Structure 1
Amino acid sequence: MKRLLCTILILLSAHAAAAAQTPAKKPDAAAELRRKTFEKVWETVRDKFYDPNFNGVDWGEVRERYAPQVAAVKTDAELYDLLRKMLSELKVSHMGVITPDALRQMTAPPVTTGLGLRNVEGRVVVVRVLPGSPAEREGLRPGFVVEKVGGAAVKDLDDALGKLHGPANTKVVVTILNERDEAKDVALERVALGRGEVERTNFGGMSLYALFESRRLEGGVGYIRFTSFIPALNRKIHEAVASMLDAPGLVIDLRGNGGGDDSVAVDLAGLLFDRPVQLMVTRARKGEDFYYKARPSKRPYLGPVVVLVDGASGSASEQLTAGLQEAGRAYVVGHTTAGDDMDAELEGLPTGAYLIYAAGLPHTPKGLVVEGHGVKPDLEVNLTRAGLLRGQDAQLDAALRYIRTKTSKGND
């Protein structure tokens, strides 16, 4: 995934430079660019998709069905929807079309209302409120249910997150159910997080961001949480682990962490071993194997480690979790992870968009494939709305109980 992040930023820079000198497309020229874009997508998958058998799909037959539909599309947006539908037939993650605007949003400072949402007991529930955020100022807290956003009922978690998204310095009305199940409309401002609130990696004039926190919990247990694997976090992670070498246990909270740079995950793993460890192996199109080996730290943390995960933990989060679990180095608590674990690459397209495609299939040294399956926790723990309203985090509580058990046995 590291190569993907770098490629994203390089292509963004190139697109920005070219945009100023690219004339508006005439109708015939636009149609031809769309046709060429379709061909580029189909041929790239044919030649570079990680599986030469295309996951059991007849890729030639797919072209025959979709190619005639390209002439009927009237806009680039319609073409991208058609291409995404075609790519979805391969039934793996990390396949899609990304517009230049979407990429720029990915690399802009995060915009948030401060609400962290998850599916809890079949409802969209607040599980975390960012300190100092508009949501905190309005009195929202974990356990509140999100019923509507912008006056429209939310269908599911993705729908709620999509409706909350918007430009900085705008407001959105959220209808919540409070602890008494009373419906209340709250106007939340969308704010861009600034320096000191997020960690940033610069590359090619663009930026990648992540939230990071580390602290001691009850009994001196160490706690580290971050929202994405970006190189800017390496120093902070090293410093946090180094400051916790005397801790009776360490909790690494990857809930909601969608992944990022695999090398950051491998580097973190090295802080937890006193010997080299093979974390993951990736099989590419031509049968080459790429190895992700964690090199031991000079001063590793060797106490009990618990990794917290949920259905929003993906990609690099899953590789780290699966590798530590299989090596017997971490106890995993929470829910089965996203199952979105492919090594991906980007390909520029004639319309200025980008194809993201699965170029390699990772697996653990013992052959466990996370893609499509996820990492199953050693202990599955459900969050409950009642517990959240009481200020409890059942998954974190379970992690602390496990650490207490391990340390008490060690002292017997």
Structure 2
Amino acid sequence: MTSSATSPSIRHRLAPAALCVAALLAGGCAAIDPHNMIGRQFAPGTSQTNPFGPVGATALSTTERVRAFDFVWNTINDRYYDAKLNGVDWKAAGDRYRPQAIGAPDDDAFWEMLDRMAGEMKDAHTRVESPKRAEQIRNNESVSLGFSFIRLDGRFIVSSVHPDSDAWWAGVRPGMALTAIEGVPTQAAYDKVMGVTRVDSTDRSRHFRAVRRIVAGDLDSKASFTFERIDGTKMDVTLKRRRTSTAALANHRVLPSGLGYIRLTQWTGFTADRSEQAVRELKDTPGIVIDLRGNPGGSLLAVTNLLRRFFPAKTDVGRVLTRSGQAVGFFFGTVEVIKLKQIVDGGPDAYLGPVVVLVNAASGSGSEYFAGAMQAEGRATIMGETTCGCLLGFLGYSAIPGGGELAYSEIGFRFTNGKRIEGEGVVPEKPVPVTLEDLRLNRDRALEEAQALLKTMGPWKPPAKTALR
């Protein structure tokens, strides 16, 4: 979100292995590199040389568009983790989108059409990023109006406002109703945007894509809105899109209640390290709240590194699903980078106090892996709202001819309780829906209820079935 489709991309885990064997892999032998990891972008913010040549400022030619289209269609067809392609008639999709993409009026429309074709997989992780969007991802930034909204009680309600945005300084606050966009009633404007928004893993993730289409755009471009204040008065504002950082953040503290609190905005090596340190510093607290609300995902290694801090012994949390049924690796499978059986390395210094994980509809991918694994093993109580339902994995972006980038799901997950999460979401044991009153009062009811629950709970005792001696 911040894309709802950020992956538990295996990038953080793959980077060291890829660097070590890059020279030997230069031949591109399919047997040596069956997952085609050569040239992938393994981590946010890293540069990538497009093997198809430099990307210029001129418009793509028809030949370049054809090459880009064929690359996307063939890659998904040949390498998607599910050989049945989610039951999608992919050939028919290619036949339908090819003339629309090749004949698109401009390059922006061309990349948009490629992404809409990728959306036919009904998978938030399988997507095409335009050159402009790919550059923003590499720079950990977004260009946005700085607010978001949800559908609540039959109206469109502001759910968050960035404090550095024009929206904030214009007086927009959570709990206000959004009644018009560019002079058009919000329902009509939203329906129009949804009509051109690609299909996604769930309706929840598709909503976030639609919101992003409304609030994102070119730097310094403007849009007008009408908001309704709590007292019923209206305010008309014109807002400018500004650049904001999407860099991952992690923080922790001891709450006034004496309970521990950890929050991560993304799963990266940095946030995982900070969070592991947080668990050590909070080891004497009687319970910990882990806040993953709004966290769209990230590195699988970062997730598993934090998971291990809550289990006293090696614990089987599920399996990875691949197209071949084999582990992800190099050199004819002799070097396994991602094993089929997902084992969390616990330890004697694990935190054994009770844990509550807070999630919402914008908790995706890596956050769903963490919450889903903790839930499946009975290690935490999940509280809040049903998550995105966007849990697949990709191994890094692939460069598309013409400058775009392709992510395609190469890994699925199944937890020990049999749940897949993709297309469904992690369903909290303790639902705490967002209410209009709480937004207006700036009240965090989920955090309040998490603390109340933790105070009634004692230390966790691992069931025998989860320990692998």
TM-score, length of structure 2 as denominator length? 0.73
Distance in 1 (CA, whole Å) between partners of 2:359 and 2:128 is 28
Conserved? CA contact 2:390–2:421, under 8 Å: yes
Conserved? CA contact 1:280–1:319, under 8 Å: no
SS of the residue corresponding to residue 179 of structure 2 reads: strand
Deviation at 1:193, TM superposition (A): 5.1
SS of the residue corresponding to residue 247 of structure 2 reads: strand
Counterpart check, 1:233 vs 2:271: yes
Counterpart mapping for 1:201-350 below 5 A: 209-289=247-327, 290=339, 291-297=341-347, 299-345=349-395, 346-350=397-401
SS of the residue corresponding to residue 332 of structure 1 reads: strand
Counterpart mapping for 1:107-122 below 5 A: 107-108=138-139, 109-110=141-142, 115=147, 117-122=149-154
Judged with a 3 Å threshold, the aligned counterparts in structure 2 of structure 1 residues 369 and 238 are, in CA distance, closer, same or farther, namely same
Deviation at 1:266, TM superposition (A): 1.0
Distance in 2 (CA, whole Å) between partners of 1:143 and 1:179 is 7
Conserved? CA contact 1:259–1:317, under 8 Å: yes
Counterpart mapping for 1:157-196 below 5 A: 158=208, 159-166=210-217, 174-186=225-237, 192=243
Judged with a 3 Å threshold, the aligned counterparts in structure 2 of structure 1 residues 169 and 348 are, in CA distance, closer, same or farther, namely closer
SS of the residue corresponding to residue 259 of structure 1 reads: coil
SS of the residue corresponding to residue 370 of structure 2 reads: helix
Distance in 2 (CA, whole Å) between partners of 1:312 and 1:77 is 26
Deviation at 1:39, TM superposition (A): 1.9
Counterpart check, 1:375 vs 2:426: yes
Count of aligned residue pairs for this structure pair: 393
Match for residue 48 of structure 2 among 13, 23, 32: 13
Partner of 1:197: none
SS of the residue corresponding to residue 352 of structure 1 reads: coil
Distance in 2 (CA, whole Å) between partners of 1:168 and 1:35 is 29
Partner of 2:199: none
TM-score, length of structure 1 as denominator length? 0.82
Conserved? CA contact 1:282–1:343, under 8 Å: no
Q: Deviations over 1:283-321 (max 9, x none)?
A: 111012434332225532211111111111110011100
Distance in 2 (CA, whole Å) between partners of 1:90 and 1:310 is 24
Higher mean C-alpha deviation, range 379-388 or range 182-191: 182-191
Counterpart amino acid of residue 262 in structure 2? I
Counterpart amino acid of residue 315 in structure 1? S
Identity %: 29
SS of the residue corresponding to residue 401 of structure 1 reads: helix
Conserved? CA contact 2:167–2:239, under 8 Å: yes
Q: Deviations over 1:145-203 (max 9, x none)?
A: 33345655544564444333356677765533222122223566655557xxxxxxxxx
SS of the residue corresponding to residue 247 of structure 1 reads: coil
Conserved? CA contact 1:50–1:284, under 8 Å: yes
Distance in 2 (CA, whole Å) between partners of 1:182 and 1:86 is 43
Partner of 1:201: none
Deviation at 1:230, TM superposition (A): 1.6
Match for residue 87 of structure 1 among 108, 118, 121: 118
Structure 2 gap segments, 5+ residues each = 1-7, 16-39, 191-206, 328-338, 462-469
Higher relative contact order (CA 8 A, sep 6+): 2
Judged with a 3 Å threshold, the aligned counterparts in structure 2 of structure 1 residues 383 and 61 are, in CA distance, closer, same or farther, namely closer
Partner of 1:143: 175
Distance in 1 (CA, whole Å) between partners of 2:100 and 2:218 is 34
Counterpart check, 1:46 vs 2:77: yes
Match for residue 55 of structure 1 among 61, 69, 86: 86
Partner of 2:66: 35
Counterpart amino acid of residue 157 in structure 2? V
Conserved? CA contact 1:84–1:97, under 8 Å: yes
Judged with a 3 Å threshold, the aligned counterparts in structure 2 of structure 1 residues 218 and 23 are, in CA distance, closer, same or farther, namely closer
Partner of 2:108: 77
Distance in 2 (CA, whole Å) between partners of 1:231 and 1:373 is 27
Distance in 1 (CA, whole Å) between partners of 2:50 and 2:460 is 58
Conserved? CA contact 1:172–1:188, under 8 Å: yes
Distance in 2 (CA, whole Å) between partners of 1:152 and 1:210 is 35
